[in-house]
Structure 1
Amino acid sequence: MGVAADERQALCALFDEVGPDAPTLCEGWLTKDLAAHLVVREHRPDAALGILVPGLDGHTRRVQDGYAAEPWPRLVERVRSGPAWFWPTSIPAVDELVNSAEFLVHHEDVRRARPGWEPRPADGARDAAAWKAARMASRMTLRSSPVGVVLRTPAGRQAQVRSGDELVGVVGEPVELLLFVFGRDEARVEFEGTPDAVERLRAAGRGL
């Protein structure tokens, strides 16, 4: 099992626990909407394009709403059982490459929408995947930042992911950095830089 597979199973176990109408960090989505989104990604190529292409999002929304209306156990089992056989991520190595960040972030979207959440204990494989994904994704998700950005971990890892006349350091454990670059405010990070530069970074859009 890799990080993607582990996070998929952990998320489905949490789905079982909280039910279809629990909140998530994805604006406007309950858990049934998040689960339906994951199914669309892996089973409906005709609708998956609309996740990234605005002009096709109407069809995506209709297909996703159809899945969200299914009985909850059936919908969760669709997520748990993984992609359709013809989908590239049915190959474990591709699944790990493509889905580690997806399922890690969405697992935390459900965990951290609940009161009293705390970060999970460090895990070497999960942290390595999160650090790699944060560095790669941030070049796109932080493209609107008006300042330069350096990601740093308490253990000393560092990556400058955006250039600029002013630099802001974002410091946190790898999972926290991953959540930050994907636009989640429920990420435990600290900032290094002038108050103005930090505020400009925090006000900028973060996401795909």
Structure 2
Amino acid sequence: MSTHAKRERLLLADLLEAQGPDAPTLCEGWNTRDLAAHVVVRERRADAAGGMLIKQLAARLERVQAEFAAKPYEELIQLIRTGPPRFSPFSLKQIDEASNAVEFYVHTEDVRRAQPDWTPRELDPVFSDALWSRLEKMARLMGRKAPVGMVLRRPDGQTAVAHRGTPVVTVTGEPSELLMFAHGRQDAANVELDGDKDAIARLHEAKQLGI
């Protein structure tokens, strides 16, 4: 049975393949080759991937990621399609779904939305609810560096507090768009911001938003 994570994985691989290795992405300083290398290292090199969170391992991560980026692009795409090796925690269906449905959705949009002719993608309600469920659980972590109070709100009124503080900015949009915003892709997210004008500007321009 296919999962959201598996579907997004294949979409990402297809998109990376179609765009080629030198296309832009929303990830600052990264082209599609760099993004593909990041995805592969995250799943296959736990010894280096810790550098995403632990400052002391950052240099190792950078070195290993550069090694993977130097591989043939087609090989990177195939490694993404194939998925993690059996010894990886990501090979377990529950961990894959919990960790990768959001990861692959955001990175797919990183590639899509960096293209000048991109159009909004319609998500099915089940996937949208799954993204909201993850967003609710991750909201505090994702908003911990917000410079002002931040509340995430679905069009139906459901809310998640991402950062306590004043003044408060309410970010309204579909779960997929709220995820893009909370992951630091403010310029590419289709959301509405309500609150103090200066607070909105600070939140929209925050460089440290996201995880």
- What TM-score comes out, normalization by structure 2 length? 0.93
- Residue 18 (1) aligns with residue 12 (2): no
Match of 2:32 in 1: 31
Unaligned runs of 5+ in 2: none
User: Using the alignment, how far apart are the partners of 2:101 and 2:85 within structure 1?
Assistant: 18
Match of 1:140 in 2: 141
Q: What are the Cα deviations for residues 60-79 of structure 1, in whole angstroms up to 9, with x where unaligned?
A: 11111111111111110001
User: Using the alignment, how far apart are the partners of 1:168 and 1:160 within structure 2?
Assistant: 10
What RMSD over aligned residues (CA atoms) do the two structures have, in Å?
1.4
Q: What are the Cα deviations for residues 138-169 of structure 1, in whole angstroms up to 9, with x where unaligned?
A: 31222122322211112222222322232211
- What TM-score comes out, normalization by structure 1 length? 0.94
Match of 1:129 in 2: 130
* 1:55-204 correspondence to structure 2 within 5 Å: 55-184=56-185, 185-204=187-206
- Give the 4+ runs in structure 1 shifted more than 4 A: none
Aligned with 1:168: secondary structure?
A: strand
Aligned with 1:159: secondary structure?
A: strand
State the AA in 1 paired with 2:192.
E
Match of 2:209 in 1: 206
| Inter-CA distance 5–151: structure 2 relative to 1 (3 Å threshold) | same
State the AA in 2 paired with 1:198.
I
- Among the aligned pairs, what percent are the same residue? 48
User: Using the alignment, how far apart are the partners of 1:196 and 1:43 within structure 2?
Assistant: 43
Give the stretch that moved more between structures: 102-111 or 50-59: 50-59
How far residue 105 of structure 1 moved from its aligned partner, in angstroms, is 0.5
Aligned with 2:188: secondary structure?
A: coil
Give the stretch that moved more between structures: 120-129 or 108-117: 120-129
CA contact (8 A) 2:25 2:31 kept: yes
Work out the number of aligned pairs and report it. Answer: 208
CA contact (8 A) 1:142 1:207 kept: yes
| Inter-CA distance 188–109: structure 2 relative to 1 (3 Å threshold) | same
Unaligned runs of 5+ in 1: none
CA contact (8 A) 2:4 2:97 kept: yes
| Inter-CA distance 141–159: structure 2 relative to 1 (3 Å threshold) | closer
State the AA in 2 paired with 1:42.
E
State the AA in 2 paired with 1:103.
F
